[in-house]
Amino acid sequence: MLATLFSLSAALPASVSTDNSWINFDVTSLLQNFWPATFDGLTFGAIYALIALGYTLVYGVLNLINFAHSEVFIMGCYGVVFTLTSLGFGPNAPNLSIWAIIFNLILAMLVGMVFSVVTAFVVERVAYRPLRRRGASRLAFLITALGASFSIQYLIFLVRGSNAEPAVTMFIPTPIFQVFGAIIDSQQLTIVIAAIVMMVATDQYIRRTRVGRGIRAVAQDPDTATLMGVNKDRIIVTTFVIGGILAGAAALFYVMKVPSGVIYNGGFVLGIKAFAAAVLGGIGNVRGALLGGLLIGVIGNYGQLLLGDSQWTDVVAFIVLVLVLLIRPSGLLGQTLGRSRA
Amino acid sequence: MSEQTPVRTTRAVQLTESREALGGRKQFLGGWRRRWNRMARWQQWLFLIIVLAAVYYLPVANPWLITTEPGNDFPIACFQMAVYALVAVGLNVVVGFAGLLDLGYIAFFAIGSYTAAFFTSPDSSLIHIPYLWTLPLALGIAMLFGVALGLPTLRLRGDYLAIVTLGFGEIIRILATIIPAARGQVGFKEVGHPPGTASDGQPIFSVSNGVPWYWLAVTVIIVILLLVGNLERSRVGRAWIAIREDEDAAEIMGVPTFKFKLWAFAIGAGVGGLSGALFAGQVGFVNNQKFDVATSMLFVAAVVLGGSGNKVGAILGGAIVAYIPLRFTAIADYKYLIFGIILIVLMIFRPQGLVAAKAHLLTYSRLALDKVSEFRAARVASEQEKAAAAEAAKGVPNE
Amino acid sequence: MTTLLELKDVVVGYGRIEALHGLSFSVEEGEIVSLIGANGAGKTTTMKAISGLLNLSKGSITFDGDDISKVKAHVRVARGISQAPEGRGIFPGMTVLENLDMGTYGRKDRTGVKEDLERVFTLFPRLQERRTQAGGTMSGGEQQMLAIGRALMGRPRLLLLDEPSMGLAPQFIKQIFRIITEINEQGTTILLVEQNANQALARAHRAYVLETGTITHSGTGRELLSDTAIKEAYLGVA
């Protein structure tokens, strides 16, 4: 099967080879594992999509790439791991009834969400709100976002050190059915279905509720939104909180998929991939984030098979991002939350 | 269609402008600038020569209190400060002059280092060239990468450039790990150095001797400063400032913003590559462990801390960011956290950094100052004349 | 008649540049008051100060007897001040109905929203025809109708109209002003800011002339309309 996909920088031993080649293509591997890689990619894609929503929503209302969102996500992962560890989960899956497992997972997800939401809230209050008050330049916002991202990363580093958290396995995936000879297991199914449900809920929330209308109004014209009686500051906090909730959910699924992937800088590359997903689907577009996430997940897996190393997924995702910006910067589904339609 | 700053509402604009209005009066180090501008040319030259002499003498003097020893060898620390200063000068062209946020500057630094390694290390199977030739080569190759990265992104809003460069910083490190020819962690040993042998038979530019490396780096900085300074005062520099202040307006006024943004980005990338090659030469060894994105954040911190848009500020910022962890080794582990927090605090309380960028256009600044004072003197003189004439005129009928 | 809105010595600045230097005027309940002036006289700044988008450096604004100078903009909407902003401020990605719905955002009572919608559609039948169209795709005149209709959806006590005639064809201008009078007759107090002095003065109960941040003339609409100085300066009559 496919190994874990995420680069944990220091942990990877370099191959000691005298090979002087640059890039090798392994087409047979891609063809042989095409369907398993597709479904596995969709699972990762669902996780990217949940994170991508956080970028997309904040970008919609603030026109800002919230670099700290990757840390909002990784904080959620710590919340999940701490909860599960204290509930007695470890490297081996516990022998519990299915209902007990579901209860524990939901509890872990809620704690993860709280961790993420608190982080997002603090970042908004401490870093971004003072800048808004001052009417700072876009550059100032981006630099602050960068500072916030690295501050949180290295705060975690100080507390938890440079190693990944011990693995937590939640349950052993059991095969459910087969498609094109590829086994779909319970884990993949859980992640994809849960992620899609959450995304549909978010989409409906923004389309149908009063707060959702407020979010769209601020995204399209903040001053006029205020004249309609929208409390802009509260709307902005709300979008950070929604992003945090989704990141917390993504955290649970990520730990489920990559049990030993929780490390202080683990959010970074995932954040880039999630952002690439948001841009691919059309930044500001909730449905686009889902499509972009799934595509990035699948394309990344193909890249890994074709090129041979798991770290190629990151490179491939990055190349997709650059190509999208080159060919269709508004993304596949266009940008809807924001004002670009005007 | 319209480019929007993050929720820049009317009230926000109102506040900025009032703050800017206040900012004029309380400028930190502002007094220095005024004094500098009032100096005669020869005084400025004399001052510069003294400063330069002090800068070149620094590692030899190894002054008490300032020294980084016993923790870190002082001449080598000086060299690292110089490399950071050079990086900051290059990044300042991108961030400070053109207002573009390049978060993957480490990537260009890495490209420069690998260029030096590929063409000088015995571990590389490519052709070998003298080390000094790799400096311009690294500059050129990094510039090419800069253009390749800038072409798709610079037409779009600045945020896209920020995230793409941030990704690029990580991607280069990953590529160095997974492409077999880049030799991953094993890396390249015995990267070249400039020629010359000391009396004891050791090469002058040895890994352990920081002084000549420092002198080389400072000399390179001076050359780059002269080139960048000339650009800054030229049409290009004015275009950059126009783009930084209001890109849409610049575009409407006929400034080919894309072209000039690409130039700024490519020049920045080139200087990054150059500093990478210098660094690789001194360390003598290049592998995939040295180029993490967190260092990119330090580079940005250097520019922002010093004062983005100001060359002197950039040098100062670069030197400070390199110096603090070397001097105060106890807090070296916290440097990313410290500089991350410094970035946030600076943006909230002092976005212009230690040395603020000059508000007026540089081209004619000195000339204009002279002209204005000439004009004032002339007007005072003519008024006195008029007054005298009026007195005289009044006087006539009385007589 | 009671005073609904009163500005006292209001000073507003953008940085060092002062846009309003001690502006004072009032709007009585049930009136249409016009504020006329040339470009850069401070008309839009006055509107933004009243709606709370700009802070006052000095002076006070009283609404219905309460000092609202420090009240946040979105709260002022809930108190009953609605604005159709300069440039119309239509949400381009929302439909006409959604835009109108945004007008009720600050409202505390949700009862009567339906009647208000009926009322807006009666005033502007065109909006009913276009109700599912995206706001950004409508013509300037339709957007202006939408902006006024949206402001009415908040059931305001005071309606602020910032240059409703800007960029509109002459027959549209007449229509808009006729509707403004109609809205007023239905009981809404209106403060109107205009460059089109002729119409604005003809429709107003009272009017003020704003010149570089201060009031230079005031009187009933008719008085100002027949004032020779104002004729020369604003009505294009020599």
Q: With an 8 Å Cβ cutoff, is C92 touching chain B?
A: no
Token representation of residue B34 = 């005024």
- Supply the pLDDT for residue B138: 92
Closest C-chain CA to A235? C74
Q: With an 8 Å Cβ cutoff, is C91 touching chain A?
A: yes
Judge: C13–B14 Cβ closer than 8 Å, yes or no: yes
Q: With an 8 Å Cβ cutoff, is A77 touching chain B?
A: no
Q: Are strands C214-220 and C206-211 parallel, antiparallel or unpaired?
A: antiparallel
Mean pLDDT of A284-311: 88
Q: Mutate which of B13, B258, B344 to disrupt the A interface (most A C-beta within 10 Å)?
A: B344
- Residues in chain A with CB shorter than 8 Å from the CB of C136 are 341-342
Distance from CA of A226 to the nearest CA of C (A): 5
d(CA A293, CA A56): 12
**Residue of B9, B10, B20 lying closest to C15 (CB–CB):** B20
Tell whether B52 and B109 lie within a shared domain: no
**Residue of B156, B179, B186 lying closest to A325 (CB–CB):** B156
Q: Mutate which of B2, B3, B7 to disrupt the A interface (most A C-beta within 10 Å)?
A: B7
Interface of A with C in 240-269 (CB under 8 A): none
- Supply the pLDDT for residue A339: 39
pLDDT tens digits for range B322-360? 888 888 877 878 888 988 898 898 888 888 777 777 654
Better-predicted residue by pLDDT, A284 or B143:
B143
SS3 of residue A175 by DSSP: strand
Tell whether B90 and B161 lie within a shared domain: yes
How crowded is the C-beta side of B390, counted as CA atoms within 13 Å? 6
pLDDT tens digits for range C42-79? 888 999 999 999 888 889 999 998 999 989 999 999 89
Tell whether B264 and B382 lie within a shared domain: no
Residue B387 inside a domain? The answer is yes
Distance from CA of A184 to the nearest CA of B (A): 30
pLDDT tens digits for range A143-188? 899 899 999 999 999 999 888 888 888 888 888 888 888 888 889 9
Tell whether B252 and B231 lie within a shared domain: yes
Residue B395 clears pLDDT 60, i.e. is over it: no
Residue A82 clears pLDDT 80, i.e. is over it: yes
- Residues in chain C with CB shorter than 8 Å from the CB of A337 are 93
Domain count for chain B: 3
Closest C-chain CA to B16? C15
Residue A311 inside a domain? The answer is no
What CATH number does the domain containing B266 carry?
1.10.3470
Distance from CA of B19 to the nearest CA of C (A): 7
Mean pLDDT of C199-220: 88
Q: With an 8 Å Cβ cutoff, is C221 touching chain A?
A: no
Indicate left, alpha or beta for B12 from its phi (over 0: left) and psi (-120 to 50: alpha): alpha
d(CA A113, CA A109): 6
pLDDT tens digits for range B92-134? 999 888 888 888 899 999 999 999 988 888 877 778 888 888 8
Residue B21 inside a domain? The answer is no
Distance from CA of B168 to the nearest CA of A (A): 8
ipTM of the complex: 0.88
**Residue of C13, C16, C48 lying closest to B10 (CB–CB):** C48
pLDDT tens digits for range A32-80? 888 888 899 999 999 999 999 999 999 888 888 898 999 999 999 999 9
Subunits in contact with chain A (3 or more CB pairs closer than 8 Å): B, C
Q: With an 8 Å Cβ cutoff, is A135 touching chain C?
A: no
Rounded to a whole number of angstroms, the CA Rg of chain C reads 17
Tell whether B341 and B359 lie within a shared domain: yes
CA-CA distances (angstroms) from residue B296 to B60, B165, B205, B293? 30, 10, 27, 5
Residue A286 inside a domain? The answer is no
**Residue of B10, B16, B21 lying closest to C16 (CB–CB):** B21
- Residues in chain A with CB shorter than 8 Å from the CB of B125 are 20
SS3 of residue A249 by DSSP: helix
Distance from CA of C48 to the nearest CA of B (A): 9
What is the helix (H) or strand (E) element at residue A114, kind and residue range?
helix A98-123
Residue B299, exposed/middle/buried by CB under 10 A (0-12, 13-18, 19+)? Answer: buried
Residue A18 inside a domain? The answer is no
Distance from CA of A131 to the nearest CA of B (A): 6
Residue B14 inside a domain? The answer is no
Tell whether B40 and B72 lie within a shared domain: no
d(CA B117, CA B109): 12
- Residues in chain A with CB shorter than 8 Å from the CB of C101 are 213
d(CA A85, CA B343): 35
Tell whether B57 and B160 lie within a shared domain: no
Residue B109: name the closest of B293, B338, B328, B369 by CA. Answer: B293
Residue A271 inside a domain? The answer is no
Residue B15 inside a domain? The answer is no
- Residues in chain C with CB shorter than 8 Å from the CB of B21 are 15-16
Among the residues of chain C, which ranges form H helices? Answer: 43-51, 73-79, 96-102, 113-123, 125-129, 140-153, 170-185, 197-203, 221-226, 228-234
Residue A38 inside a domain? The answer is yes
| Total residues belonging to chain C | 238
Closest B-chain CA to C54? B11
Mean pLDDT of chain B: 79
d(CA B13, CA B354): 24
Q: With an 8 Å Cβ cutoff, is A56 touching chain B?
A: no
- Residues in chain B with CB shorter than 8 Å from the CB of A272 are 163, 166-167, 170
Residue B351 inside a domain? The answer is yes
- Residues in chain C with CB shorter than 8 Å from the CB of A230 are 74, 102, 105-106
Residue A3 inside a domain? The answer is no
Mean pLDDT of C142-171: 89
Residues β-bridged to residue B286 = B188
pLDDT band at residue B384, thresholds of 50, 70 and 90?
low
Residue A40 inside a domain? The answer is yes
d(CA A265, CA A15): 23
Distance from CA of B24 to the nearest CA of C (A): 11
Tell whether B359 and B273 lie within a shared domain: yes
Residue A74 inside a domain? The answer is yes
Judge: C54–B21 Cβ closer than 8 Å, yes or no: no
Residue A11 clears pLDDT 70, i.e. is over it: no
Distance from CA of C181 to the nearest CA of A (A): 23
CA angle at B239 for the pair B235 and B242, rounded to the nearest 5°:
140
Residue A31 clears pLDDT 80, i.e. is over it: no
Residue C82: name the closest of C64, C102, C103, C108 by CA. Answer: C103
Q: With an 8 Å Cβ cutoff, is A217 touching chain C?
A: yes
CA angle at B298 for the pair B292 and B299, rounded to the nearest 5°:
95
Q: Mutate which of B2, B11, B14, B16 to disrupt the C interface (most C C-beta within 10 Å)?
A: B14
**Full domain range(s) for residue B379:** 369-399
Q: How many CB pairs under 8 A join A and C?
A: 74
Numbered residues of chain B with Cβ closer than 8 Å to any chain C Cβ = 9-11, 13-14, 16-21
Tell whether B227 and B356 lie within a shared domain: yes
Distance from CA of C229 to the nearest CA of A (A): 36
Tell whether B292 and B318 lie within a shared domain: yes
pLDDT band at residue C18, thresholds of 50, 70 and 90?
confident
Single residue among B61, B77, B108 that ends a domain in this structure: B61
Q: With an 8 Å Cβ cutoff, is C89 touching chain B?
A: no
Chain position carrying tokens 């087409």:
A27
Distance from CA of C49 to the nearest CA of B (A): 10
Residue A342 clears pLDDT 60, i.e. is over it: no
Q: With an 8 Å Cβ cutoff, is C114 touching chain B?
A: no
**Full domain range(s) for residue A260:** 33-165+181-266
Indicate left, alpha or beta for A88 from its phi (over 0: left) and psi (-120 to 50: alpha): left
Tell whether B188 and B300 lie within a shared domain: yes
Mean pLDDT of B177-190: 79
Residue B286 clears pLDDT 60, i.e. is over it: yes
**Residue of A134, A146, A307 lying closest to B300 (CB–CB):** A146
Amino acid at residue number C177? F
Residue B121 inside a domain? The answer is yes
Tell whether B56 and B191 lie within a shared domain: no
The pTM (predicted TM-score) of the whole model is 0.83
Judge: A213–C102 Cβ closer than 8 Å, yes or no: yes
Mean pLDDT of B250-275: 90
Domain count for chain A: 1
Q: With an 8 Å Cβ cutoff, is A9 touching chain B?
A: yes
Residue A337 clears pLDDT 70, i.e. is over it: no
